[in-house]
């Protein structure tokens, strides 16, 4: 017969926080060329302080290398289609980050 967890044990299990989050990243123009993909899903560990746009970019850079890092230094970003005003912007599970290099034209 299976053992039933005591009330404190069940409470502990329900109090656990997620340890990772998944973020969609869409790359445009030069960022797409540097990453080699149009879009991807990145899994990030969640530190006690939470995740930021900068954390997502670090994971993307680790995956795609120096060419992407060079492009990211010149990019602007949208998070769920809203402008990001700093790499310390918090990010939540399921959000989408758009990476937008400078565009030319008229």
pLDDT of residue 47: 82
Q: What's the distance, CA 33 to chain centroid?
A: 19
Name the H helices within 1-106. 7-14, 29-35, 53-64, 66-72
pLDDT of residue 9: 47
The model carries a pTM of 0.80
Report the relative pairing of strands 39-45 and 20-27 from DSSP bridges: antiparallel
Please, what is the end-to-end C-alpha distance for the chain in angstroms? Answer: 73
What domains can be seen in the chain, in order of their start residue?
Answer: 17-100 (3.10.20.30)
> What are the pLDDT tens digits along the chain (106 aa)?
444 444 444 444 455 667 889 999 999 999 999 999 999 999 998 887 889 999 999 999 999 999 999 999 999 999 999 999 999 999 999 999 999 998 766 5
78: enclosing H helix or E strand: strand 76-79
Assigned token pair, 2 = 């299976």
């Amino acid at each position: 017969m299976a053992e039933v967890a005591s009330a404190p044990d069940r409470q502990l299990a329900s109090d656990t926080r997620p340890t990772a989050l998944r973020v969609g990243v869409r790359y445009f123009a030069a960022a797409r060329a540097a990453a080699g993909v149009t879009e991807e899903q990145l899994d990030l560990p969640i530190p006690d302080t939470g995740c930021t746009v900068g954390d997502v970019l670090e994971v993307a850079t680790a995956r795609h290398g120096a060419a992407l890092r060079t492009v990211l230094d010149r990019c602007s970003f949208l998070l769920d289609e809203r402008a990001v005003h700093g790499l310390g912007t918090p990010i939540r599970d399921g959000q989408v980050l758009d990476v937008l290099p400078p565009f030319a034209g008229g």
